[in-house]
């Protein structure tokens, strides 16, 4: 049985307190790409895309969405997964030799020639910045040994990340039957990608020179209007095919707060990305609902000494709310606790909520050490050996004897402070 412990008064009703399961380019008028004026984000964003999503990068909280779970072709946003796998499973210093037929891959490409040698690192940058289809294909062949094996790897990784409505058929995003994703799944992928330091560096790069190239285009440049012109933009990936339309995964940071936007099947993905970011930064604010190091609850530890344990949140827990609104109180989620428990050991989660739904969490740790208690047979021995004084001392130290293996009856636990007190 699964349940959460709210931040209101609660009483333990079973041995298991709770179990938490973490289940979640055209020319541009640059003046139009400035930060939105005050009040510019007061209304939901007007987007031309058929699917879109705006998400908090840290917690995965969705701030706005449109058909976010509809499967659509994703064009070159595919290359985010390609590069993630290169960074996770490849050696970026490897020298990759282009095979025969590499020059037959359609543009956008780096126009790599058969026999040409480039490092995996250069291919990664070219795949993201230039959206080079031949570079992405080479990455797949090198990392997995063949394109079919790399596609299998892509789909396995998607399943691991929880991308339930995604299927890959190639490494570059060219049109293929059954090659699709959703705005929601691409946001999940991007949140993971942004946890990789080098991916952040790659996707924020506007221009790069490929040192290995002796001929041809050695300088690769981004053409993404959002990345080039939106204040605070730091990624991620554009895409276009006639079937998919214009697609874009955007990332921008303002005041240390990072948002991710995804738009699919648009006539102007750059403008859509700007509209969503203006909406997010203009209408929402990031709030702390639990400060690192604060006590959030107290729980029973059957068979423990002491019998109750304070729960301390390890890191700040954030939530995004409409400006001026109060955030929802987070919930405590812990499993069955058995002594001994070391001080500082993780014993549960503090779960953030928005619209009644969980989306982010922070670790709860033990406030103090909990040792195993002493059972009644040992108490009897103490009485025999030391008489009533020894027994009284035992009761004071342990809370009284109990049958060996028995659990204390849970008692009411005071609630932690309200979330508003932890801003």
Catalytic residues: 76, 79, 131
Residues 263, 264, 269, 271, CA torsion sign: negative
The residues pairing with 121 across neighbouring beta strands, listed in sequence order, are: none
């Amino acid at each position: 049985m699964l349940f959460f412990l709210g931040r209101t008064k609660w009483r333990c009703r079973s041995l298991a307190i709770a179990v938490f399961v973490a289940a979640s380019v055209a020319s541009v008028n640059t003046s139009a790409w400035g930060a939105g004026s005050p009040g510019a984000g007061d209304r939901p964003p007007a987007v031309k895309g058929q699917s879109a999503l705006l998400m908090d990068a840290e917690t995965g909280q969705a701030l706005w969405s449109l058909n976010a779970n509809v499967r659509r072709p994703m064009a070159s946003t595919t290359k985010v997964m390609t590069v993630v796998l290169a960074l996770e499973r490849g050696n970026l210093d490897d020298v990759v030799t282009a095979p025969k037929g590499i020059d037959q891959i359609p543009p956008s490409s780096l126009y790599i020639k058969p026999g040409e040698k480039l490092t995996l690192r250069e291919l990664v940058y070219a795949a993201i910045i230039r959206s080079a289809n031949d570079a992405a294909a080479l990455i797949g062949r090198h990392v997995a040994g063949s394109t079919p094996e790399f596609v299998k790897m892509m789909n396995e990784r998607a399943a691991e990340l929880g991308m339930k409505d995604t299927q890959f058929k190639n490494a570059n995003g060219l049109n293929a039957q059954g090659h699709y994703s959703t705005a929601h799944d691409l946001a999940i992928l991007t949140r993971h990608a942004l946890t990789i330091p080098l991916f952040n560096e790659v996707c924020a790069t506007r221009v790069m020179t490929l040192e290995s190239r002796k001929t041809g285009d050695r300088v690769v440049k981004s053409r993404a209007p959002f990345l080039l012109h939106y204040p605070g933009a730091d990624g991620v990936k554009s895409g276009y095919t006639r079937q998919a339309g214009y697609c874009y995964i955007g990332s921008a940071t303002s005041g240390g707060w990072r948002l991710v936007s995804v738009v699919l099947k648009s006539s102007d993905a750059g403008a859509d990305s700007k509209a969503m970011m203006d909406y997010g930064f203009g209408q929402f604010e990031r709030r702390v609902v639990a400060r690192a190091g604060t006590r959030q609850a107290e729980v029973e530890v059957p068979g423990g000494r002491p019998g109750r344990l304070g729960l301390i949140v390890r890191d700040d827990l954030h939530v995004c709310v409409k400006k001026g609104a109060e955030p929802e109180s987070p919930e405590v989620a812990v499993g069955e606790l058995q002594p001994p428990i070391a001080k500082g050991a993780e014993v549960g989660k503090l779960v953030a909520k928005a619209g009644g739904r969980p989306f982010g969490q922070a670790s709860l740790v033990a406030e103090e050490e909990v040792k195993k208690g002493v059972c009644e047979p040992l108490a009897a021995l103490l009485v025999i050996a030391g008489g009533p004084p020894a027994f009284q001392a035992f009761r004071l130290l342990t809370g009284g004897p109990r049958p060996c293996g028995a659990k204390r009856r849970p008692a009411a636990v005071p609630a932690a402070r309200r979330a508003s007190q932890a801003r």
